[in-house]
Structure 1
Amino acid sequence: MAEHATPWPEGPAMQGPRLLPWATAEGKPCYLSTDVRGYLAALADNMESVQLGMGKELLEYARDTTAPGAKILTATEYRWLARRLTEALSDALRAADSRGQRLPGPQEDEEAGEDA
C-alpha cells in the first residue's frame, strides 16, 4: 500500500538544507544541501512515500484491532502496536516538517506572482 502515499508534488520550492527522512546513528537529524533533483533527494522522496504508506497501513490495522467486537490483544501485542504507531507518527511528523520547510513563504509567493 506504500505506493498510495502522497508524493511530493513537482519538487519543493525552497532552496537550502533539506531535512531527510532518516537520522544518524546517534538520533540526530540529517540534512541534504544540494539541488532538489539529485539521487539523494529522489531517495528521500521515495523513503518518505514508503514511510507514509506504511503508516497508513498501520493505522488501518490499529483501527481494525481496536474496533468494537475485535479480538482482544495481549499486553505485548498492544505494546508492539503502540511502538509501531509511535514510529509511524514520528516519520509522518518528520516528513511534514521537511515538506513545510520547503514550502515558499508568503513573500516568495508574492514575488512569483509578480514575475508571471
Structure 2
Amino acid sequence: MTTPNELRLLPWSGSGDKPCYLSTDDPDGYMSRLADSIEAIQLGAAGELLEEATEALDDRGTSLDEMRCLITELTGALRDVVRIATSRGRLLALSDPCESAY
C-alpha cells in the first residue's frame, strides 16, 4: 500500500474543484493508465492551443472576443499542464535518484 506522500495527483478534479489522488502500488493498473492517457490528451490540447494563440497574435484581424475565448481556453490548458507537472514532479521525487541518473 502506498503512503500518503506517494499518492498520485490525478489529471482531473473532484467536486468543488478539489484535487483527486490515486493510491496504488501498480503503475500499470487501469486507473494509472487512464490518468496517463488523459494527461497525454491534455498536453496535446495545450500544444494545439499554443499554436492557435501564436497564429491569433500574428493575425491583426483577430477580434477581442476571439482573443478572450482563446485566453479562457489557454487558462484551462495551463491549469491542466501545471497539475500534470506537479503530479510528475512528485512521482520523480519518489523515484530512486540513482536509477534516474542513468
Which band: TM-score by shorter chain? 0.7 to 0.9
Runs of 4+ in 1 over 4 A off after TM superposition: none
Shift of 1:71: 4.3
Cα distance in 2 for residues equivalent to 1:38 and 1:16: 16
Shift of 1:75: 1.9
2:7 is the alignment partner of 1:21:
no
TM-score, length-scaled by structure 1: 0.74
Shift of 1:95: 0.5
What is the aligned partner in structure 2 of residue 109 from structure 1? 97
Alpha carbons of structure 1 residues 104 and 43: separation in structure 2 relative to 1, 3 Å: same
What value does the CA root-mean-square deviation take over the aligned residues? 2.0
Alpha carbons of structure 1 residues 43 and 105: separation in structure 2 relative to 1, 3 Å: closer
Shift of 1:105: 5.5
What is the aligned partner in structure 2 of residue 44 from structure 1? 35
Paired-residue identity, %: 43
What is the aligned residue count? Answer: 95
SS of match in other structure, 2:15: coil
TM-score, length-scaled by structure 2: 0.84
What is the aligned partner in structure 2 of residue 93 from structure 1? 82
Structure number having the greater helix percentage: 2
SS of match in other structure, 2:17: coil
Cα distance in 2 for residues equivalent to 1:105 and 1:19: 13
Runs (5+) with no aligned partner, structure 1? 1-14
Runs (5+) with no aligned partner, structure 2? none
